Each structure stands twice: as C-alpha cells, then as structure tokens.
A and B are shown apart, each in its own frame.
Chain A
Amino acid sequence: MESMTYQEWNRRRQGRNGSTAPSGRKKGKPVQMGCTERRRLLQLFVCTMVFVATVVGKGVFPERMETVQAELRQMLCADTDLSGAFVRLGRSLSRGDPVGESLGDFCIEVFSAEDGIRVSVPTTSRRPLSRQEANALLEQGSRPVADVLGLRAESDCDGTSGNDFFADTAAVPSPEPTEPEVVHVDYTGPALPANATMDKYRLDLAETVSPVIGRVSSGFGWREHPVDGGEKFHNGADLAVDLGTPVKAFAAGTVEYIGDSPVYGLYLQIDHGNGVSSFYAHCEELLVQQGKTVTAGEQIALAGETGNATGPHLHFELKRNGIRLDPVYYIETK
C-alpha cells in the first residue's frame, strides 16, 4: 500500500514539475510557482502520513488509540462546556439581552477554566449517602446503584448532551399493585425535617415519566448549600441538563400553580391526585398555564438556570400528602 502511494506521489510530483512552465498559468512568477508546488506536496505528504499513521495505529493498537482519543478530548474540551457556552450566547440573543455583555460573558467562559467548571457542573452534593441508604437502593435494583448515588464518572467532558435524550425518555413502569405501600429505608444521617422522609412510598399513579434524563448533581437530603453556604435540607433532586431541555410532566394531572421567585426562578407544581404532587423549578420557560390538564410525559417547561442556580438544571420535588419524597426513587437518571 505504501509503495503504491509513493509511486503516486512520484508521478504527481513529476507531473507538477512538468507543468511549472511559465505558460501554465498567468498569475505569479515561475519561481513562486515552484515554491507553491513544493509546499503543496509537503502538505500532501504530511497529511497522508498522519492519515496512514492513524489508520495503521487504529488497526494495530486499538486500545492505545482509544486512550489517545480520550486524552485529546480531555485536552481540547478541558473544563469549558463549549456547546453550553454557545447555547447561552444564542439564548441571550433571543431574549434581547445586550449583545456586548453576553459576548463578554462568552469570552470569559471560554478563556477562563474556572468559569467553565462553574458552568458545566451546577451543584454537587457534599453529603454522601449512608451505607444503609445505598443498600436499600441496591435492593430495589431498579437502576444501577452508581447512578442513584450520583457517582457516575464524569468522563464526558463534552457537556451534558441532554438534548439527545428527550426523544427516548422511557416511561418508568408504575409500581405493581403487589408492591408494599411503603418501603422503609434506613437512614442514619441528621434528623429529617418534619415534612420529609427517606422512605419509599407507593404512589399509585397510572404512569410516571422522568421529567428529564440528567445526572443527579445534588440529591435529596442535607447538603451544604452551593450558593448560600451552610447546611440546608434539599427538598428535591437537582438534575443537570442542557439549557432548554424539554421538561415533561411526571404523571397526568392538573397544573396547580406557576410562578417566579428569586430562589426557584420560574417554577410550577402539578397535582397528580392521590395526594401526590410534583414541583419543577429553575425553568427557562414555562409552557403551561395554571389549571391546565396535562398527560404523563407532556412537555410543560424548558429547563434553565433561573433563580438561585449555578448552572442549568431542573430542581424536581415530589410530595405525597405534603411530605417530600426522594424523587430519585421514581425517576430515571443518567
């Protein structure tokens, strides 16, 4: 293969040399032409060598090439969530924000690594789950335990590509009637507030859907608050997703209220009946009005970072008779 290619180059070189006569083209002097041709040939040679090296490398040491690719990707995307930065820039344009300001933000984001981290990883739970909790969750066997614990390796530096996932947001099958009404989950952490429980209750809903499929960047329970600092009880789960990812209704129901607050940004609550309601916060845009009847999986909002948030995510809460449940028991996560 290599000798063939070499012959080709040779032929090409001879062909080119033959055509470098001044009559070939009107532009430029003959001396310059020769120079250009030689440069072209060198370029072609380098390109072919790189190409051959890659092809041969991939065939001979596939694992090594995988590592190289991973390292390269790590180096190139580093901590900057480039596609996220582009999306934010475009969104500011659609909102009519001052372009200069958003361009400045964009530059800061691209040029400084620290800001990249801030943006791509919204909030991280500092409180690890206790062993009992982990075991209880393991017993459920509903999803890989690593996902539940939020321990998923953060190797994908290409940013959360949640957009690709809204198409196949699989419906979590509703619990079988044989399931006990409540599964007690051992909890040894600090005392829970009166309106929260770690137990897993049966919801008795016909069909439930994960509002978004994202990484749990901050789980249900006590945590150090990412913005205000200090230990605070987190009433729901934070699911890190791309800005503008469609948010789906957890189950069929009626929109109880919608609103805007400095803390939760744009939020809404849906009443699912049976005393169950779900709450969605930090939305970019709300797509339903109060009183609207929604079906399970219907698009109700776009995920965002409004209110007190350090990055785009959905804050999702689940309540049963006013008691807050750990939403992660009932949804699919990345």
Chain B
Amino acid sequence: MTAEHIKGRVEISGGFFLLAAFLYYMDTDGLLLRVGLAATVHELGHLLAIWALGGRVSRLRLTCVGAEMRLASSCPNGRMFRILTALAGPAAGLLLAAMAAQISPGGWSLAGISLSLSCFNLLPVAGLDGWRALSACLTSRWGRRALEMVSLLASGGLAAAGLWTMSGTGDPTLFVTGSWLLLSAVRQSGYFSQIPTCVPKQIMIN
C-alpha cells in the first residue's frame, strides 16, 4: 500500500493523541505498549477478515474511544460477512493470548491483556464486536428487541460496577467506559434517538 493509498484514509483525532500522551505519561510498567500491541492485533484481525472476504476499508479512524474502520459501500453486506468480520478481531486477540501464554513468564502479561480485551469486546453491548455478531444473527423483530434489552442491561451493569469501583477506589476509568457504552446502547436502542444513526450501508467496526 503506497502513501497515496493511505492519505485521506487514515484519520487520527486529537483526542487519540491526547489520551495516548496521558497514558504514556502515567504508565510506569510498560503496560501501554502491551495494550497497544493487543489492540493492534485485534484490529488487524478485523482488517484481514474484511480483506479475505472481499471487502475494502475506506477509512480508518483512531479516536480516544478506539479504532474505527469504515467499510467501502461496495463491500459485501451479507450476514456471514458481518458475523465473521466482527468475530475476527476477538479471535485474533484470543490467538495472541494463547500464543503469548506459551512464553512464560514474559508473555503472561500480554496474554492476560489480550484475553481480557477480547472478552470485553465479545460483550453483547452496542458498539462492541459481540453485539455486532449477534445483531447480524438476529434478524427477527423480537430478536432485535431482545438484543437491545441485553445491550442496555449489560452496559448499565458495567456502568454500575464502575460506579461501585469508583466509590471504593476513586478510579473512574471503568465508570467512564461503562457510561460510554450505556450511552451508545441507548443511542442504538432508538428509545431516545435524537441523534441520527449512521447511514445503513456504512458499517463501523471497532
């Protein structure tokens, strides 16, 4: 891929740099590097699956809430395509975890990070890979309704657990993450949708 290809297709927000700088500043264990590696492998999993199934990524955005790939409108939009591309990220993460776990004890940390990242992404909360795969599976109206409820409950639970942690330790990260997911679940559910949802043909992949 040439520079011309990349130009205009990769977008990195200021928030991403700010968060990266902040985490780098706070990080003393070299944890950030391992988290970055695990996240890169996760995204590569998505990307390879998209390419392998004949899709094309029109734009890659790196923001403070994660990476986001926008598919070209010419992509296949079948159910299998959506399921497989959604699950490819966590699958790559699990593979990385399994491989890193073999390198003892140096790889344990990376294995743990990659495993927890993959499992987190498999949660059935709107915006995460688990939800994406499920929503591609469930096409009936009742199935969608049920998924919305599960998404709301899971993200609400996560936010509550984050609040509990924050009250105990003062650490706001889990609460912020949970709230963000709850917000996206609420937005997705359409109960309070003032915000226009994205154009249907453009699927975003976190």
On chain A, the residues within 8 Å of B116 by CB distance are: 86, 89, 103, 106
B142 at the interface (CB under 8 A from A): no
A295 at the interface (CB under 8 A from B): no
Check A69–B25 contact: CB distance below 8 A: yes
* Least Cβ–Cβ distance between B147 and chain A, in angstroms: 22
Check A243–B18 contact: CB distance below 8 A: no
Chain B residue nearest to A161 (CB atoms) is B29
Bound-state Cα–Cα, A285 to B105, Å: 10
B183 at the interface (CB under 8 A from A): no
A76 at the interface (CB under 8 A from B): yes
Bound-state Cα–Cα, A48 to B173, Å: 22
A94 and B174 in contact (CB under 8 A), knowing A44-B14, A111-B164, A112-B165? no
A56 at the interface (CB under 8 A from B): no
Number of interface residues of A (CB under 8 A): 51
Check A111–B165 contact: CB distance below 8 A: yes
Size category of the B interface is 35 or more
CB-CB contacts below 8 Å: A71-90 with B = 72-80, 82-83, 85-90
Task: Report which of A90, A94, A112 forms a contact with B168, defined as CB distance below 8 A.
Answer: A112
Check B169–A90 contact: CB distance below 8 A: no
Check A87–B29 contact: CB distance below 8 A: no
Check B101–A90 contact: CB distance below 8 A: yes
Chain B residue nearest to A99 (CB atoms) is B115
On chain B, the residues within 8 Å of A302 by CB distance are: 104-105
Query: Which of B98, B100, B113, B172 is packed against the most chain A CB atoms within 10 Å?
Result: B113
CB-CB contacts below 8 Å: B21-79 with A = 21, 25-26, 28-29, 31, 34
Check B104–A285 contact: CB distance below 8 A: yes
Check A91–B115 contact: CB distance below 8 A: no
A87 and B13 in contact (CB under 8 A), knowing A51-B18, A75-B170? no
CB-CB contacts below 8 Å: B133-190 with A = 161, 164-165, 168-174
Check B109–A86 contact: CB distance below 8 A: yes
Chain A residue nearest to B100 (CB atoms) is A90
Check B101–A93 contact: CB distance below 8 A: yes
Bound-state Cα–Cα, A86 to B202, Å: 35
Check B105–A87 contact: CB distance below 8 A: yes
A75 and B171 in contact (CB under 8 A), knowing A27-B199, A94-B101? yes
* Least Cβ–Cβ distance between B90 and chain A, in angstroms: 13
Check A94–B110 contact: CB distance below 8 A: no
Check B165–A90 contact: CB distance below 8 A: no
On chain A, the residues within 8 Å of B161 by CB distance are: 111
Check A110–B174 contact: CB distance below 8 A: yes
B81 at the interface (CB under 8 A from A): no
Number of A-B contacts (CB under 8 A): 127
Check A244–B112 contact: CB distance below 8 A: no
CB-CB contacts below 8 Å: B89-140 with A = 97-98, 100-102, 104-113, 115-116, 119
Check A27–B169 contact: CB distance below 8 A: no
A103 and B119 in contact (CB under 8 A), knowing A47-B17, A47-B18, A51-B18? yes
Check B169–A80 contact: CB distance below 8 A: yes
On chain B, the residues within 8 Å of A73 by CB distance are: 26, 28
A90 and B170 in contact (CB under 8 A), knowing A27-B199, A82-B31, A83-B109? no
On chain B, the residues within 8 Å of A50 by CB distance are: 18
Bound-state Cα–Cα, A245 to B111, Å: 17
A142 at the interface (CB under 8 A from B): no
Bound-state Cα–Cα, A117 to B169, Å: 11
CB-CB contacts below 8 Å: A290-322 with B = 302
Chain A residue nearest to B59 (CB atoms) is A27
Check B26–A90 contact: CB distance below 8 A: no
* Least Cβ–Cβ distance between B97 and chain A, in angstroms: 6
Bound-state Cα–Cα, A90 to B108, Å: 4
Check A89–B29 contact: CB distance below 8 A: no
Check B115–A47 contact: CB distance below 8 A: no
A122 at the interface (CB under 8 A from B): no
Q: A235-257 toward B: CB 8 Å interface, digit per residue (1/0)?
A: 00000000111000000000000
Binding site for B on A (CB under 8 A): 27-28, 32, 40, 43-44, 46-48, 50-51, 69, 72-80, 82-83, 85-91, 93-94, 99, 103, 106, 110-114, 116, 156, 158-159, 161, 243-245, 284-285, 302
Ordered nearest first, which 10 A-B pairs have the shortest CB separation? A244-B105, A90-B111, A78-B169, A90-B108, A89-B112, A86-B112, A47-B14, A90-B112, A94-B101, A113-B168
A-B contact pairs, 20 of them (CB 8 A): A27-B202, A32-B196, A43-B14, A46-B14, A47-B14, A47-B17, A47-B18, A50-B18, A77-B171, A79-B169, A86-B112, A87-B108, A89-B108, A90-B108, A91-B101, A91-B112, A94-B108, A99-B115, A112-B165, A302-B105
Task: Name 18 extra pairs, CB < 8 A, besides A90-B113, A91-B105.
Answer: A27-B202, A43-B13, A43-B14, A75-B169, A83-B29, A87-B105, A90-B108, A90-B115, A91-B104, A91-B112, A93-B112, A94-B108, A99-B115, A111-B165, A158-B29, A159-B29, A243-B105, A245-B105
